[in-house]
Structure 1
Amino acid sequence: MSATQSNNLPLWVQDRDKVIAESTDTQWRYQTPPDYSRSKENLANESTRNHLEGTLEAIVENLVRTFEMEVSFKTNPQQWLSIVNDKFRVSSNGGLEYTAADLAAQGTYNLFMADSEHYKASEESFESSAKVFHTTFPQGFPWEVLEVFSGPPNVTFKWRHWGHFKGAYKDYAPTGETLEIIGMSVARVTDDLKIVSLEHYFDNSLFLEKLTEGGKQSNSENQGSTCPFSSWFKKFHKS
C-alpha cells in the first residue's frame, strides 16, 4: 500500500474513498468496504463549509473522516492508518481515555456517550448502537469541520454533526426535524499527521431530548421495527 499519493500528502489525510480503495487485505467489519456515495451527496447539498483541497481545514476534515471510517468498518485496529496505534488515546468531555482496541470492540458512540435518561451506552454493543443510529437517521449523519484554530502538532477545531430524524429512535416516533451537534476537538498529531490522541468536547443533552420529542409509538407502529430497545444510539456518530 502506498503511503502517499501524487500530491505528496499522506494517504490518510486525503479523500476517504482513496483510503478505502488502497486498503487492500483489510478485515472489513461487514465483509465488504463501506460505500459513502450517499454521504457524499448529503455533504455536497448540506455542508455549510467547502474547504479548498490542501488547506488545513480540508486536511483535518479528511483525517477525522478517515479515522471515523476505520473505527466503524475496519475490525483490526492494527490496520488503521490514521493513528499511532500503540500510543493512541481518545476521550470526551474530560472523561476516561480509551485505546484503539476499546473503540474497535465497543464503538465510538458507546464510549463517547455516558449513560443517560435517553441512552444507555452500557446496554449497547458496537452492532446495536450502529443499528439504532442508522435506523434513526436513514439518510446518514454527516460530519464537517467548521473552523480550525491551531495547526499541528496540537490541532484544535470546531465541528458539526447533523442528520434528518426520519426513522424511529428506539420506540420513539421520528419528527422529521434536522438535528445537529456542534463540538470542539483537540487532536495531537505526529509530523506525518497520524493521530496520537483525540479529545472531544460536546453537549449532547439537547440532541438526545430531541430524539424523544415525538413521543412513544403505538404497539402497532412498533411491530416490524428493526431497532430493539437495546440497540443504540449511537453513532453519534461519526460521519
Structure 2
Amino acid sequence: MPHFIQKVVVLRKKLCLGTSILPPLTSTPTTKKRASEKEREHLGMAVTGETAAKLKVAADKYRSFLHEEGQNIEWRHGGPPIYDDVNKLFEHGRTQEWPKGSLEEVVQNAVKSWELELSHKTRIQDFRTINPDKFKLVVNGREGLSGEETLKLGSYNALLKSSMPEEFKFYNADEESFESSHDVFRSAFPRGFAWEVIRVYSGPPVITFKFRHWGYFEGPFKGHSPTGELVQFFGLAVMKVNWGGRKRIRGFNNYN
C-alpha cells in the first residue's frame, strides 16, 4: 500500500439524517461505563492485556501499517485497533466496489490508512502515510493544519470545526478534546462510521475525488436517544501526493 499523502483539501459536506437531525432530548441520564474488551473490539479500539497476547490478528485488507513487524509504534490504546465491525458496515453499505489495484481503491485505502494513524498513533514520527514536514490539512478554505496540529486536535475536531451559528451546531469541535470527540462518535455509532470513495476525477500527483461517510445512529448522543436511522454526508477532497519513489500524502484540501 503506497504511503503518499502530502496535502488534502476537503469540501462542503452534505449531511443527511432521514427525517430529522436529532430526536428530542430525553430526561433519562446516560451512564458512562468502561468498555469491556469485547465492546472495545466493536468500537474499533485496541485489545490489550491477556486477550491481545492470545489474539492473532490478520492484516486489515483496507489499511496498511496496522501490523508492522519490528516497529516501535506507540499506540494510543496499547496496541493496534480492530476494525472488524466497521469493515462489515463498509462492505454491506458501500455503493462502489472498486477493482483491486485501481486508482479508486488505492485512494480509498490510503485515506483509511491515514485515518488509522491519526486516530490510533500518538507520535507523528510513527506515521507512514504522510510527510510530516510538508503535510497540510485544509478544511473548507480555513488555514491549513500541520501534521502535529491535526494529531493534537484529532480527525473529528479538525474536519468538523465550523463557523455556523451556535444554535445549528449539533457537534461543537471547540468544546471537544481528542478523547471526548472519539467517545462521542463511538457512543452514537457503535458499529463505526464507514467511509468510501465514490468517484475519482483526476489522477496523481493532484487527486480530486468525491467521498461518502455514513453510519447508523444506534447509541446515545449527548442526552439524545438513538433512533437507528442512517446518518451520512458527502464531500469532495483534493489530495496532493508524492507519487514517485516513497509515496506519501503531502496534504488534504477538504470541502465538507
Range of TM-score over shorter length: 0.7 to 0.9
User: Does the 8 Å contact 2:4/2:243 carry over to 1?
Assistant: no
AA aligned opposite 2:142: G
Partner of 2:11: none
User: Does the 8 Å contact 2:217/2:227 carry over to 1?
Assistant: yes
Partner of 1:84: 131
Matches within 5 A, 1:204-219: none
Aligned partner of 1:159 among 211, 214, 239: 211
Aligned partner of 1:113 among 152, 160, 167: 160
> Aligned-pair distance for 1:38?
1.3
> Aligned-pair distance for 1:17?
4.5
- The answer to whether 1:135 aligns with 2:187 is yes
Partner of 2:220: 168
- The answer to whether 1:10 aligns with 2:2 is yes
Matched residue SS, 1:149:
strand
Partner deviation per Cα, 1:127-163 (whole Å, 9 max, x = no partner): 0000001100011100000000000010000000000
Q: Distance in 1 between matches of 2:140 and 2:220?
A: 28
Q: Distance in 2 between matches of 1:92 and 1:161?
A: 16
AA aligned opposite 1:48: T
Partner deviation per Cα, 1:101-142 (whole Å, 9 max, x = no partner): 112111011122225432221111000000001100011100
Partner of 1:188: 240
User: Does the 8 Å contact 1:12/1:66 carry over to 2?
Assistant: no
User: Does the 8 Å contact 1:89/1:100 carry over to 2?
Assistant: yes
User: Does the 8 Å contact 1:57/1:147 carry over to 2?
Assistant: yes
Q: Distance in 2 between matches of 1:17 and 1:66?
A: 5
Partner of 1:40: 87
Aligned residues: 194
Q: Distance in 2 between matches of 1:177 and 1:37?
A: 21
User: Does the 8 Å contact 2:119/2:154 carry over to 1?
Assistant: yes
Q: Distance in 2 between matches of 1:44 and 1:177?
A: 18
Deviates more, 1:113-122 or 1:154-163: 113-122
Matched residue SS, 2:212:
strand
AA aligned opposite 1:77: I
Pair 108,180 (structure 1): closer, same or farther in 2 beyond 3 Å: same
Pair 130,18 (structure 1): closer, same or farther in 2 beyond 3 Å: same
Aligned partner of 2:107 among 45, 57, 60: 60
AA aligned opposite 1:143: W
Q: Distance in 1 between matches of 2:61 and 2:125?
A: 21
- Name stretches of at least 5 consecutive residues in structure 1 with no aligned partner: 1-8, 203-239
> Aligned-pair distance for 1:18?
4.3
Matched residue SS, 1:66:
helix
AA aligned opposite 1:49: Q
Q: Distance in 2 between matches of 1:18 and 1:176?
A: 31
Partner deviation per Cα, 1:197-226 (whole Å, 9 max, x = no partner): 101111xxxxxxxxxxxxxxxxxxxxxxxx
Calculate the TM-score normalised by the size of structure 1: 0.77
Partner of 2:68: 22
User: Does the 8 Å contact 2:239/2:249 carry over to 1?
Assistant: yes
AA aligned opposite 2:250: V
Calculate the TM-score normalised by the size of structure 2: 0.72
- Name stretches of at least 5 consecutive residues in structure 2 with no aligned partner: 6-59
Pair 12,44 (structure 1): closer, same or farther in 2 beyond 3 Å: farther
Q: Distance in 2 between matches of 1:45 and 1:12?
A: 28
- The answer to whether 1:96 aligns with 2:143 is yes
Q: CA RMSD in A?
A: 1.8
Pair 21,70 (structure 1): closer, same or farther in 2 beyond 3 Å: same
